[in-house]
Amino acid sequence: MQQVTPNVFTETKTRGCNPGFVVTSEGVVVIDTPQLPTQAITMRAEAEKHGPIRYLINTEHHLDHIFGNYYFKGAGTVIHHQFVYDNFMTVYPELDPFAYAEEALLDDPDGRALFPARDEYFADPNKGEIVITGDVTLHVGDHTFHLLHTPGHTPGQIAVYVPEERVVFTGDTIFAQCQTWLMTSNVDQWLAALDRIQVLDVDHVIPGHGPVTDLAYINTQRALLLEWETAVATAIAKGWTREETIARVSFAGRYPVDIGQGHMMDYIQTLNVASLYDKLTRLSATKTPAPSPIA
Ligand SMILES: [Zn+2]
């Protein structure tokens, strides 16, 4: 894992989100869990070398942030937002996050033996014991963990600000140098979330995906969200249909998809455009966009 500060570690180079942990004088706090079983088992062992795991915080409900909770049973108290709790690995007719987690074993052949049967998994996926609806501050040893409710990418989004380390884990409020997934988003809220993170006194920004960065990247993420929204709003102003807009608007050339998901590029472009189109034409009240709880 990458050591960001003396007490902060993260993993940015495997498929799934960037999970991490913070070492305190009274144990370890884990932030998001690896999606791939082998990585989850490995990170748990790595974290426990530094002391008992006290808390496990999930920053959002997308499966690449929560599926690995299964492998952290008995290791600390799980904390996440009410929206994460209510949408934890929910199976939809058009999208089954458990099946998606199983497909990803292509990138983790050794994980096959660790992968639970569906019934076994859903009997206890290790959901939150502490469920929050706003900001919460934890004190663990000498460290402070400000859990900031920063909706936008998803309604239950949390950023974890650790002032003693001058670090913030943003979750998917930031996709650093990789494709941004907009399909479960509210862009106006997301921009407000970036404003909130931008004023934190930190040196290191650990994004949900992509390499560790700094506060300057907030400007890049903000510009991308505005470009996306403007591109679709402009298409609507030109009178393009939903299908024409999906066919013509794409940011595929801007960034690669994060590790292991290159095959999702068209899916991301299509659903990003469709969700923005529906919101900007106020169709969202009558037409529910496909759920996409996978990244
Ligand atoms: Zn996400």
Enter the tokens of residue 74.
């008995």
Give distance in angstroms: CA of 62 to centre of ligand 1.
5
**pLDDT score, position 46:** 98
| Structure token digits, residue 173 | 């409020």
Token duo for residue 76 = 């600390």
- Ligand 1 centroid–CA 166 distance in Å is 23
Q: State the residue for tokens 């907009």.
A: 182
**C-alpha of residue 295 to centroid of ligand 1, in Å:** 4
CB atoms within 10 A of CB 118: 13
On the question of pLDDT at 69 being above 80, the answer is yes
In this prediction, residue 287 carries a pLDDT of 47
Q: How far is the CA of 77 from the centre of ligand 1 (A)?
A: 22
**Hey, what are 62's tokens?**
């997308």
Q: Which one-letter DSSP state was computed for residue 14?
A: S
pLDDT in tens, 100-122: 999 999 999 999 999 999 999 99
Q: Is the pLDDT of residue 284 over 90?
A: no
| pLDDT band for position 282 (cuts 50, 70, 90) | confident
Distance 184 CA to ligand 1 centre (A): 8
CB 8 within 8 Å of CB 167 = yes
Distance CA 295, CA 290 (A): 14
Distance 11 CA to ligand 1 centre (A): 16
In the chain, what is the straight-line distance between the N-terminal and C-terminal CA atoms, in Å?
21
Q: How much distance in Å is there from the Cα of 87 to the middle of ligand 1?
A: 13
Sheet bearing 53-57, strands edge to edge: 2-5, 8-10, 20-24, 27-31, 53-57, 77-81, 130-132
**Average per-residue pLDDT in the chain?**
95
The CA distance from 32 to 56, in Å, is: 7
- Ligand 1 geometric centre to CA of 181 (Å): 7
Q: Distance (Å, rounded) from C-alpha 244 to C-alpha 288?
A: 19
Predicted confidence (pLDDT) at residue 288 exceeds the cutoff of 60 = no
- CA dist., res. 159 & res. 183, Å (int): 19
Q: How far is the CA of 28 from the centre of ligand 1 (A)?
A: 24
> Which residues have their alpha-adjacent CB atom under 5 A from ion ligand 1?
62, 172
Question: Across residues 133-159, what is the average pLDDT?
Answer: 98
Residue 1 has pLDDT above 70, yes or no: yes
Q: 179: Cβ–Cβ under 8 A, 6 or more apart, which residues?
A: 251, 252, 254, 255, 256, 257, 258, 265, 268
How far away, in angstroms, is 168 Cα from ligand 1 center? Answer: 17
* CA–centroid distance, residue 210 to ligand 1 (Å): 12
Tell me the C-alpha distance between 257 and 140, whole Å: 35
**Local confidence band at 293 (pLDDT 50, 70, 90 cut-offs):** low
